[in-house]
Structure 1
Amino acid sequence: MSETPTPRPDVTSPVDEVPPAGRLLVLGLQHVLVMYAGCVAVPLIVGSALGLDTRTIGLLVNADLVVAGIITLIQTLGVGKILGVRLPVVTGATFAAVTPMILIGQNFGLPGVYGSMIVSGVFGMLIAVPFSKIIRFFPPVVTGSVITIIGLSLISAAAGLIAGNDPTAPGYGNLAGLGLAAGIVLVIILITRFVRGFLGQIAVLTGLVVGALVAIPMGLTDFSGVASAPWFGVAPPFLFGAPEFPVAGVVSMCVVMLVIFAESTADMLAISEMTGERLSPARIARGLAADGFSGVLGGTLNSFPDTIFAQNVGLVQLTRVRSRFVPAVAGGVLLLLGLVPKFGEVVASLPGPVVGGAGLVMFATVTAVGIRTLHKVRFEGTHNLMIVAVSLGVGMLPVVAPNFYRQVPATIEIIIGSSITSCVIVAFLLNLLFNHLPWGRAQ
């Protein structure tokens, strides 16, 4: 591939162009619609797993949108030479944090979750520069294994939303819920297959809307709390109390931050290729520092750490609109949506089978992306197959056997009991052993 020519000073880069106002708004809204279902899935899953009520989950949804909007604005517009990659990217809550947050919440409560997140955010901001220089230690064999595990581990969460989490409950796996979820999956498949352009890009969101409408006459919805929710407002910082800092939770969330960094780096490099914009290590570091800041901000505002959303990277490739101000508008829209509690209440009131049906497709897609990443790995003449096999095997243990680490102390279980953190640790160490340490390489 030929080297990208350095633009002349008098030529505006496509990344810095500002489209007309009307086009800018429409294209920004398109980015919001493409990523919205994936963004709100995280608070819905975490809130449901931790047994939170609908009103509280609604607050998490709003906080999630606020933080996603702020970090998107930071990534696109930048904050001096400190934060932001200044590329056309959109950020949202990462799926990588879901399982660790649930484990931490079950053992230490939400103050432990948010305290661990804040520390991991500070950790991320401190290591952003050195990480941008050691990307070679996170090749596709590591990132592909981890992304695959993220998707596989979340499929069980989708199953819980569809069928319920208590197999002994009378309504567990009822046919109405299973049928509704299956119908949503079918709608998403049909839209993806037969609809072209923008509508095809929002197949998951459309499936959610159709599912919600069908659930109303089925008697599966309860929007009674929407009327009492205020139109405007934001939850106060540290809604669940002063943050706590359990060591196991902190370690687990710091590992998650490394996953976020690897994921965001890959997306930044992809966007750089699409736009022809030079991406220096310093610029990558500013993008990663913004991800780290999302941990601090999310921990303070009752939200979640963010990462660059791959589906929006794909949208840039599809539309060929390379202006960073388009996703900046998307960030502004996300921020405004997050300031409307009624909106969060509506989302939180969606029936489990509706969210689970759409989630099943999203999480399986994450798995497929991981498999696609592994396709870049050279397996012949290397030990990469062993790296993938062992890291996936260890990562799947807590998924297929949730009580596998029951006898392990709780502080350790939070780390190794998370399929994602255990997979990251194993894949990273095995990659060092086989591909970087001289005495570990095949002769």
Structure 2
Amino acid sequence: MNGILKNTALGIQHVLAMYAGAVIVPLIVGGAIGLNPEELTYLVAIDILMCGVATILQVMSNRFFGIGLPVVLGCTFTAVGPMIAIGGEYGVSAIYGAIIVSGIFIVLISGIFGRLVMFFPPVVTGSVVTIIGITLIPVAINNMGGGQGASDFGSVSNISLAFGTLLFIVLLYRFSTGFLKAISILLGIIAGTVAAVFMGKVDFTPVIKADFFHMVQPFYFGTPTFEWAPIFTMILVAMVSLVESTGVYFALGDIVGKKIEKEDLSKGYRAEGIAVLLGGIFNAFPYTTFSQNVGLMQMSGVKTKNIIYITGAMLITLGFIPKIAAITTIIPESVLGGAMIAMFGMVVAQGIKMLSTTVSNSQDNSMIIACSIGMGLGVTVVPDLFVALPSSFQILTSNGIVAGSVTAIVLNIIFNMIPSRKKQV
């Protein structure tokens, strides 16, 4: 009995470690594309459920899929900016059409992705992650003011809540250790929401109206549509996520003492592709490995897959309870905005960290970074730059993330993969 209670407690700890990341993505994306409270509740609930499904698909191992390591999967932050951009230009149906195709793409290339990794060295992946983080910052700033178009945008109450939440997160992150530090963003959002309740800025109606139980529904937001630009964007996101996951697989292999072979990687990629495909079908998100749970595993010293199975089961159970999902939808925009500054800033910091060694080792890489980030940020600020070009070409220039990513990939080929005349001599 003590063993069951201990395993359950460890499973809850893993749920808490990834919960903020799991719910913040649907809240940001759903709010940005204009979902109503009922739709937003469904989006949060199905995302939590699919996090559990994706985790179990990856932890189990058979001949076709699953890396068989104690890894937790959640929705990738890398997809937030692209999904918002796609939803704004093409509608919600195009988001899920693109996710479905990207999932199929991952499954198809899972066996040969090792060869494609050469096109995604740190200079490329670091540039892409940095661009994504930079393009998300305006979303955070808008939310800090109360949300785009809010009648009280920029009010003292909104600004106070936003900066109060951010300050709470920073102080908790600075002066706490271990698990408290790991969930500082989640605790900051809770503290900000409690403060907002006393300020009369929280409406509990969505929680009251939400059901205690619901069944999942494929294509909840309608039949998916397939557009070239969104598909290309989400495939890029999927490739970057696979590169990030590869690092987590090797880190976990080292922690549990398992040598990761090529076949293990292929099965891991395939499980991730199936999870992304299911995410598209059930109107959730692309999924990737969560490194915060790897850190928690190192801290706790517990490395068994059984704990992660319990975590996955808990997430699936929570996903069937809209009442719990609805609680997250009442968080004020300004509170989310304060938390987003920290989260999206960390995305930028992660990108810079990935780039730090490439800059010091190569001036050519500095040029790749400069041009790709400059192009990504420039197209984001001035999206009409390529409006006169043919629509087929605008697939590569439709948003800053795609433009910057393509620039990074092409320049990496030019500078690092095509032998120069000087090197041939």
Question: If the TM-score is normalised by the length of the shorter chain, which range does it land in?
Answer: over 0.9
- Which of 178, 186, 196 is residue 197 of structure 1 equivalent to? 178
Instruction: Indicate the SS of the match to 1:89.
Output: coil
1:25 to 2:17 alignment: no
Kindly state the Cα deviation for residue 377 of structure 1 after the two structures are TM-superposed: 2.2
Aligned to 1:255: 236
What is the SS of the residue equivalent to 2:110?
A: helix
Q: What is the CA deviation profile of residues 60-116 of structure 1, one whole-angstrom value per residue up to 9, with x for unaligned ones?
A: 0011111111001111123x1211111121111111212222222223322221111
- Which amino acid in structure 2 is aligned with residue 112 of structure 1? A
Residues in 1 aligned to 2:155 and 2:392: alpha-carbon distance in whole angstroms: 36
CA distance in structure 2 between the aligned counterparts of 1:166 and 1:42, rounded to whole angstroms: 17
Asked whether 1:37 is paired with 2:20, we answer yes
In the alignment, residue 243 of structure 1 is paired with which amino acid? Answer: P
CA distance in 1, matches of 2:319, 2:362: 51
Equivalence map 1:207-226=2 (5 Å): 207-226=188-207
Partner Cα separation in structure 2 for residue 440 and residue 65 of structure 1: 53
Taking structure 1 as reference, are residues 218 and 165 closer, same or farther at Cα in structure 2, changes over 3 Å only? Answer: closer
Partner of 2:39: 56
1:195/1:69 CA distance change after superposition, 3 Å: same
Give the Cα–Cα distance (whole angstroms) in 2 for the partners of residues 336 and 390 of structure 1: 46
Q: How does 1:92-103 map to 2 (within 5 A)?
A: 92-103=74-85
* Structure 1 residues 406 and 242: alpha-carbon distance in aligned structure 2, compared to 1, 3 A threshold: same
Cα deviation digits, residues 155-210 of structure 1 (max 9, x gap):
2211122214547x642211211111111111111111222222221111100111
Task: Give the Å deviation of 1:21.
Answer: 2.3
Asked if 1:373 is matched to 2:354, the reply is yes
Q: CA separation in 1, counterparts of 2:78 and 2:368? A: 20
CA deviation map 1:106-159 (0-9, x unaligned):
233222211111111101110111113432332211121122222222222111
Find 1:76's aligned residue among 45, 52, 59: 59
Residues 146, 332 of structure 2: 8 Å contact kept: no
Using the TM superposition, give the Cα deviation of residue 275 of structure 1 relative to its aligned residue in structure 2, in angstroms: 2.6
Distance in 2, matches of 1:415 and 1:52, equals 28
Q: 1:266 to 1:219 in 2, by over 3 A?
A: same
Structure in which a larger fraction of residues adopt helix? 2
3-state SS of 1:20 partner = helix
Q: Tell me, yes or no, if the aligned pair for 2:229 and 2:398 is still in contact at 8 Å.
A: no
| In 1: Cα distance, 2:318 partner to 2:393 partner | 38
1:227 alignment partner, SS class: helix
What amino acid sits opposite 2:402 in the alignment? T
Residues 234 and 341 in structure 1, CA contact (< 8 A), matched pair in contact too? no
* Structure 1 residues 416 and 294: alpha-carbon distance in aligned structure 2, compared to 1, 3 A threshold: farther
Counterpart CA distance in 2 for 1:75 and 1:372 is 27
- Please list, as runs of the form range in 1=range in 2, the aligned pairs for 1:344-359 lying within 5 A after superposition: 344-359=325-340
Among 151, 155, 164, the alignment partner of 2:133 is 151
Tell me which residue corresponds to 1:309.
290
Helix, strand or coil at the partner of 2:74: strand
SS, match of residue 198 in structure 2? coil
Which 5+ residue runs of structure 2 have no aligned equivalent?
none
- How far apart are the structure 2 equivalents of 1:433 and 1:355? 41
Partner Cα distance (2:383, 2:198) in 1: 36
What is the CA-CA distance between 1:255 and the residue it aligns to?
Answer: 1.6
1:90 maps to what in 2? 72
Shift of 1:222: 0.8
Q: Which letter does structure 2 place at the counterpart of 1:127?
A: I
1:329 counterpart residue number: 310
1:207 and 1:170 map into 2 onto residues whose CA distance is 25
SS in 2 for 1:81: coil
In the superposition, the TM-score normalised over structure 2's length comes to 0.93
Establish whether residue 160 from structure 1 lines up as the match of residue 142 from structure 2: yes
C-alpha deviation, 1:415, in angstroms: 4.5
Aligned to 2:402: 421
Residue 435 (1) aligns with residue 424 (2) = no
* Preserved CA contact (<8 Å) 1:433 1:441: no
Which deviates the most, 20-29 or 384-393? 20-29
Contact (CA 8 Å) 1:99, 1:419: kept in 2 or not? no
Residue 3 of structure 1: aligned partner: none
Taking a change above 3 Å as real, the CA distance of residues 271 and 247 of structure 1, as seen in their structure-2 partners, is: same
Aligned to 2:50: 67
User: Which shows bigger deviation, 180-189 or 103-112?
Assistant: 103-112
1:326 Cα deviation from its structure 2 partner: 2.0
SS in 2 for 1:221: coil
Percent identity of paired positions between Structure 1 and Structure 2: 39
CA distance, structure 2, for counterparts of residue 442 and residue 186 of structure 1: 52
Map of 1:8 onto structure 2: none
CA distance in 2, matches of 1:57, 1:239: 12
Are residues 440 and 317 of structure 1, via their aligned partners in 2, closer, same or farther at CA, if it must alter by over 3 Å? Answer: farther
The whole-number CA distance in structure 2 between the counterparts of 1:240 and 1:343 is 21
**Structure-2 separation of matches of 1:425 and 1:225:** 42
Task: Check conservation: 1:184, 1:357, Cα contact below 8 A.
Answer: yes
- What SS does structure 2 have at the residue aligned with 1:277? coil
2:357 partner amino acid: K
State the Cα deviation string for residues 258-315 of structure 1 (Å, max 9, x = none): 1111121122122223332111111111111122112210111110010111222222
- 2:159 is paired with a residue of what secondary structure? helix
What letter is aligned with 1:76? V
Mark the CA change 1:234 to 1:155 in structure 2 (over 3 Å): closer, same or farther: farther
Give the 5 Å matches for 1:388-407. Answer: 388-405=369-386, 407=388
Instruction: Give the direction of change, closer, same or farther, for the CA distance of 1:269–1:423 in structure 2 (3 Å limit).
Output: farther
User: What is the match of residue 321 of structure 2?
Assistant: 340
Q: Does 1:176 align with 2:144?
A: no
Structure 1 unaligned residues grouped into runs of 5+: 1-18
